[in-house]
Structure 1
Amino acid sequence: AAASKMAAVWSMSRRFIIRSYNPFVNSVRRGFSSCIDPSDGLTDEQKEFQKVAFDFAANEMAPHMAEWDQKEIFPVKTMQKAAQLGFGGIYVSPDVGGSGLSRLDTSVIFEALSTGCVSTTAYISIHNMCAWMIDTFGSDEQRHKFCPDLCTMEKFASYCLTEPGSGSDAASLLTSAQQSGDHYVLNGSKAFISGGGEADVYVVMCRTGGQGPKGISCLLVEKGSPGLSFGKKEKKVGWNSQPTRAVIFEDCVVPVENLLGEEGQGFSIAMKGLNGGRINIASCSLGAAHACVHLARDHLLVRKQFGESLSNNQFLQFKLAEMATRLMASRLLVREAATALQQNRANAVSLCSMAKLFATDECFNICNQALQMHGGYGYLKDYAVQQFVRDIRVHQILEGTNEVMRMIISRNLLTES
């Protein structure tokens, strides 16, 4: 069954598999530093599409990563190429154009893609989350209207929960939607929206009822809707290959048939989307950390100080060993959480929070240590390590801050069974 779901992907991917990897990916596939081999424990099928994702990252993303960052280019054509391989709707149902893969499969793919460009992969992960929300909670008409174009990435999606006055306290959001005949009238604004202004579909959490989470609903707002506008493009430390803008609703008219699920279900939909989003963003951090361990390793082998290679310095050897160990611990936790979410285990929400907390913290520390090992060179934009550091710093903030992750985990531990 899994093979049939991915038949189209394999036919598209053969031309990528036969191409040789760039030096970085070649070194990964040869198995040096085999103790952090990301293919360990995977099925043959998972290893196959992991190879496709690594090769796409090496050939289609990594050569352009710095340019996309410095010129703030949203690489539409490259993402559409990724969608041809099935990466536009990885865990969306096949009947609406998705690949129908598992959460673990998705994590493996996003980790591999992030070795080529974290920022672009992170946007693809948000897009996938939105497509899954429509596929899971939408009517049959909504699924067939929106999902096929999202899965090919002919159209892009953005997730709209955060507001200027409600970040971690998402249940206090103020954006309102009042029904008037066959449409809703939407007023308010959303902040820090990835893809804002470029996306075609906005998955918007808004208040249709009273205060608190039960008064929140979810509307699909299409680009071009009357009353929809956007703020200025934000200037960010990282994530520069994806635009970030405020999304503004001023008497914005949205058809009633664009209500996702039922009124009052929006907060639940948002949180269920975020459980997967946390796994996705943690997986992007894994890819950055994996790349940085290899970059640090290569630098230690070629750089000499005090007459000998840095690789002979025991302090740096131990640091590299710690980085590798933290990477493996993070990867194992993320993959366990992905499996728990797929199986709908009772502890899935807590495990997703643990994975997001641990992996984004540890992987940032790994990348930052790799930069330190490069010395002054690490601070130059000619070296990729600094971009990995900048791009994954925000992972500790979005999809629920890591402080909120601690709240979720502790509440689970302190609540009586």
Structure 2
Amino acid sequence: MQVDLKLDEEQRQIVAMVRELAQERIAPFAAEWDEREEFPWPVVEAYREAGLFALAFPETYGGVGASAVTQVLVVEELAKVDATAAIILAVQWLGALPILVAGSEAQKARYLPKLASGEWLAAMALTEPEAGSDVAGLQARAVRVDGGYRLTGQKKFISHGAIADVLTTFARTGGPGAKGLSAFIVEKGAPGVRVGRIERKLGLRASNTAEILFDDCFVPERHRIGEEGEGFSIAMRTLDRSRPAVAAQALGIAEGAFAAALQYAQERRAFGQEIARFQAIQFMLADMAMGIEAARGLVYRAAHLVEEEGRGGGRLTTANRYSAMAKCFASDVAMQVTIDAVQILGGYGYIRDFPVERFMRDAKITQIYEGTNQIQRIIIARSYLDLAPGP
């Protein structure tokens, strides 16, 4: 199946608006936010003003109802200047997806309008110290009590965990394995919820990544998403749809690094000429460009398939395969392109006066979060071997 990569007029206008916003309100400050490890609240305000949070939400709940392709175009454009700024949108949409795919009408009416406007921020609390890729091995437990559940456990590496107003949280309500998991909505300030360690990271240093501790936290039954035992399915349906955004983030990082390396190669002189005239540099630039273009095709195709198959909130089939491919391939490309960009800049690439070292640090996480690339390869292989997608 071929995907027409031509943008319609609305998409061109959105991309142009986002590019201008990124250049004026993000690019000049990205290095400072990274250096200070300071969450960029001005970016959140800029997104609220521009209505960018609304893109992924249905019009019924105050959103724009933009296609999955439009969403990845926006994330890609933002990541060209700052991966942290890009992930603010991606995490908002990730945190809302469990409600979108499996929430009740009452839950959607309460939460989605505030998330679409950006008034509230969302996060998804899935990973635990001993259960990241192994979602079926989650140990946080929700014990049924009168009127709801008592939630106890520890979540780790939660993007925006300390600043989110809404946490879509996964915990064990039954026995071991995937069938024992359920999904819940936990609001900020609920008794028994505490923010633990704020992680100090190699990359995405301005992004808030937190440990969340639940200590006998009461969750009303009306805040359970779907039925008991559906948590694993909800998590997988969410990740099927969210991975193209991570792939788009990786693609944008690679494009930003390539642009910086290309400009430098044409300005830096050695041995009496621009270093871009040397075949060794040309080969590196060519490989970088080929990887980026190949990744772009996979990212857009995955987003298109998510759009086509994603209606109704069920588990995806072909789109699941291509979401895994796009995330895996684009993040591997981003890592290689940023390493090569640092190499082309030489000593200057290794210092913070130039953005490529930040791009390289930021690229690494795209190979790890929302399913490591080793897990993506398992998903891809199983999709061809007709093996079960999970435990």
The TM-score by the shorter chain falls in which range?
over 0.9
1:115 Cα offset (Å): 1.5
Find 2:332's aligned residue among 333, 355, 361: 361
Match of residue 187, structure 2, among 222, 241, 244:
222
Give SS of 1:229's match. Answer: strand
Bigger mean CA deviation after superposition, 80-89 or 302-311: 80-89
Structure 2 CA distance for aligned equivalents of residues 400 and 133 of structure 1: 17
| Compared CA separation, residues 70 and 303, structure 1 to 2 (3 A) | same
TM-score by length of 1: 0.88
Instruction: State the match for 2:83 in structure 1.
Output: 118
Larger mean CA deviation between 156-165 and 77-86 belongs to 77-86
Look up the equivalent residue of 1:89 and give its one-letter code.
Answer: A
3-state secondary structure, aligned to 2:383 = helix
RMSD: 1.5
**Aligned counterpart for 1:395 among listed residues 356, 366, 369:** 366
Q: Is the 8 A contact 2:125 2:161 kept in 1?
A: no
Deviations 1:176-211 (A, max 9, x none): 101111121001111101112111111101111111
Cα separation, 1, equivalents of 2:90 and 2:36 = 22
1:326 equivalenced with 2:297 (yes/no):
no
> C-alpha displacement at 1:293, in angstroms?
1.2
Kept in 2, the 8 Å contact 1:89–1:132? The answer is: no
Cα deviation digits, residues 271-328 of structure 1 (max 9, x gap): 1111122110110111111111111111011101111110111111121111111100
Aligned-pair CA distance for 1:76: 2.1
Name the residue aligned to 1:252.
217
Once residues 235 and 212 of structure 2 are traced to their aligned partners in structure 1, the CA distance between those partners, rounded to angstroms, is 17
- The match for 1:105 among 64, 70, 86 is 70
Would the alpha carbon gap of residues 263 and 89 (structure 1) be closer, same or farther in structure 2, given more than 3 Å must change? farther
Partner SS state of residue 54, structure 2: coil
Match of 1:77?
A: 42
Using the alignment, how far apart are the partners of 2:280 and 2:8 within structure 1? 37
Q: Tell me whether 1:375 sits opposite 2:346 in the alignment.
A: yes
SS in 2 for 1:338: helix
The DSSP-based 3-state class of the residue aligned with 1:250 is: strand
Deviations 1:214-265 (A, max 9, x none): 1111001111111101112111001111111111111011111111111111
Q: Any conservation in 2 of the 1:62–1:115 contact (CA below 8 Å)?
A: no
Matched, 1:239 2:204: yes
Tell me which of 289, 309, 312 is aligned to 2:277.
312
What are the superposed Cα offsets for residues 18-58 of structure 1, whole Å, 9 maximum, x if unpaired? xxxxxxxxxxxxxxxxxxxxx96222221111111111111
CA displacement at 1:416 relative to structure 2: 7.4
Number of the residue aligned with 1:351: 322
Candidates 152, 155, 159, aligned match of 2:124 = 159
Shift in CA distance, 40/352, structure 1 to aligned 2, threshold 3 Å: closer
Which residue number in structure 1 is paired with residue 7 of structure 2? 42
Range with greater deviation from structure 2 (338-347 or 62-71): 338-347
Secondary structure class of the residue paired with 1:203: strand
- Offset at 1:116? 2.3
Tell me the percent identity.
36
Identify the match of residue 100 of structure 2 among 119, 126, 135.
135
Residue 248 of structure 1 aligns to a residue in which SS?
strand
Task: Work out the CA distance in 2 between the residues paired with 1:197 and 1:220.
Answer: 15
- CA-CA distance at 1:267 after TM superposition: 1.0
Relative distance call for 1:211 and 1:122 in structure 2 (3 A) is same
Structure 1 residues 276 and 83, CA gap change in structure 2 (3 angstroms):
farther
Q: Which residue of 2 aligns with 1:8?
A: none
Distance in 2 (alpha carbons) for counterparts of 1:83 and 1:369: 36
Q: Partner residue of 1:336?
A: 301
Q: Give yes or no for contact 2:182–2:228 (8 Å, CA) kept in 1.
A: yes
8 A contact 1:196–1:243 mirrored in 2: yes
Residue 409 of structure 1 corresponds to: 380
TM-score of the superposed pair, with normalisation by structure 2: 0.94
Contact 1:90 1:128 in 2 (8 A): no
Distance in 2 (CA, whole Å) between partners of 1:245 and 1:132 is 20
SS at match of 2:176: coil
Q: 1:113-171, CA deviations, whole angstroms, 9 ceiling, x for partnerless residues?
A: 11121012113201112223323321122112111221122211111111001111111
Shift of 1:100: 0.5
Counterpart among 188, 191, 197 of residue 156 in structure 2: 191
Residue in 2 aligned with 1:203? 168
Structure 1 stretches of 4+ with a deviation exceeding 3 A read none
Unpaired stretches in structure 1, ≥5 consecutive residues: 1-38
Structure 1 residues 209 and 40 mapped into 2: Cα distance closer, same or farther (>3 Å)? Answer: closer
State whether residues 96 and 123 of structure 2, in contact with CA within 8 Å, keep that contact through their aligned partners in structure 1. no
